[in-house]
Amino acid sequence: MSTTITDIANRLKVSNGLVSRVLNNRDGVRVSEETRRRIHQAAQEMSYRPNRLARSLREGRTNTIALMISELDNPMFLSIARALESALHDRGYQMILDASLAEAWTYREHAGQPSWPVDGILMYGQPANLSDCLGTLAQTVPIVFLDNQRDTQNQAVTFDFYAGGRLAAEHLVRKGYRRIAYVTHESYLRDFHHDGRFRAYEDVCRENHLTPQYIIVENVFPRCLAALNTGQRLAAMKMPERPEAVLCLGDESAMYLCQGLRRAGLRVPGDIAVVGFDGIIEGQCLDIPLTTVQTPVVQLAEAAAEMLLARIKNPSDTGLLLVTLAPRLLIGETT
């Protein structure tokens, strides 16, 4: 039989209410440090486990946050999920993961569940209409986006993709490259001109009198194979059509594109330079560490957790609506 708050109170000869307030970290509990220590020690010795359901019913909260994210086959998105889970755990919340198909950008199964048991939602994705995806939850549950702000009512934490794109493109220009191509996935074409990385690339090309060139990675799964094939396709291009350097949408594409180039007999960066975007650790573990734009994933997780939990505690006070985090250039050996 599981240990209850009453069992701990009886053992220590204190009230149930005092034990409850201490174990639940209630604000304003007037108790000596010695009593607090004894309560926590007894709870540990008696293997006390809090009843989350009872607490939820009592407080009207579940202490649970939903992360709605896609493309978990991409290491970058896994890094974001891990960082968010850690940030929420440190604040006394648990995270549940809802991963949508990469091409669907939809979570419509929740639209018919007005009482989905979460206190808030963190969303990384691009739903066309939030109400279609979440139904009444879009109006009743606090939401923080992790990529772009949807409207003035929703809060968001994002990276400065435009600044990152400029860092990468300007680095290649400084290295003396003139034929610089932008590599993106076919599925991103619908948002091509809304992508800060792409706009920065075009601006840098225009400012330096360079001709933009676009390399499209086909929608072939797994995406690592698609990027590998793209590298081999690039290697087969005749000069001067073949670019001297490429700026990739993400590190995953850059890593496998490098592999494709090298399998085809080209040297990186001797024959073609490669820059990624994300800064995932996998890119630094290659035999030739990747030059990339590093995005502060832990900082994003901390800021998003703070923003959402503040909204949960005080729904009428939105605080900051948008937090934009600055990336930095991490120079490896591929440029």
| CATH number of the domain bearing residue 29 | 1.10.260.40
Give the residue from 222, 262, 228 showing the smallest Cα distance to 248: 228
pLDDT digits (tens, 9 = 90+) for 49-59: 776 545 554 55
DSSP element (H, E) containing 273: strand 273-278
Which amino acid is it at 277?
A: F
Q: What is the mean pLDDT of residues 316-329?
A: 86
- 222 and 283 share a domain? yes
* Rounded Cα–Cα distance for residues 202 and 165 (Å): 10
In a domain, 174, yes or no: yes
For residues 148 and 3, the model is more confident at: 3
- 44 and 92 share a domain? no
Beta strands at 328-330 and 291-294: parallel, antiparallel or unpaired: antiparallel
In a domain, 57, yes or no: no
Tokens of 60: 């009207």
In a domain, 258, yes or no: yes
- 175 and 268 share a domain? yes
- 68 and 213 share a domain? no
In a domain, 327, yes or no: no
Give the residue from 121, 88, 80, 148 showing the smallest Cα distance to 300: 80
- 187 and 285 share a domain? yes
- 156 and 301 share a domain? yes
116 has pLDDT over 70: no
**Residue 126: its pLDDT value, please?**
58
- CATH number, domain containing residue 143: 3.40.50.2300
Confidence label for 215 from pLDDT (cuts 50, 70 and 90):
very high
In the block, tokens 């996998």 appear at 282
- 154 and 175 share a domain? no
In a domain, 66, yes or no: yes
**Residue 195: its pLDDT value, please?**
84
In the block, tokens 């590599």 appear at 183
Confidence label for 31 from pLDDT (cuts 50, 70 and 90):
confident
**Residue 108: its pLDDT value, please?**
52
**What range defines the domain where residue 15 resides?**
5-50
Q: Are 84 and 123 in contact (CB under 8 A)?
A: no
pLDDT > 70 in the chain, percent: 81
- 76 and 196 share a domain? no
Q: Round the average pLDDT of the chain to a whole number and report it.
A: 84
Q: What is the mean pLDDT of residues 219-224?
A: 78
**Residue 296: its pLDDT value, please?**
95
Q: What is the mean pLDDT of residues 255-266?
A: 96
Q: Are 69 and 124 in contact (CB under 8 A)?
A: yes
Q: What is the mean pLDDT of residues 87-109?
A: 70
Residue 123 makes CB contacts below 8 A (sequence gap 6+) with: 67, 68, 69, 143, 144, 145, 146
- 241 and 275 share a domain? yes
* Long-range pairs, 89-93, Cβ under 8 A, ≥24: 91/305, 91/309, 92/25, 92/63, 93/63, 93/64, 93/65, 93/119, 93/305, 93/309
∠ CA 330-331-333, nearest 5°, is: 135
pLDDT digits (tens, 9 = 90+) for 66-95: 888 877 778 898 899 999 999 999 888 999
Domains of the chain: total: 3
Confidence label for 46 from pLDDT (cuts 50, 70 and 90):
confident
**Residue 130: its pLDDT value, please?**
61
pLDDT digits (tens, 9 = 90+) for 126-179: 555 565 566 667 777 888 988 765 655 678 899 999 999 999 999 999 999 999
In a domain, 329, yes or no: no
**Residue 106: its pLDDT value, please?**
47
Confidence label for 293 from pLDDT (cuts 50, 70 and 90):
very high
114 has pLDDT over 60: no
Q: How many CA atoms lie within 13 A of 7 on its CB side?
A: 13
- 133 and 176 share a domain? no
In a domain, 331, yes or no: no
pTM for this predicted structure: 0.78
In a domain, 133, yes or no: yes
- 151 and 195 share a domain? no
**Residue 60: its pLDDT value, please?**
54
- 154 and 301 share a domain? yes
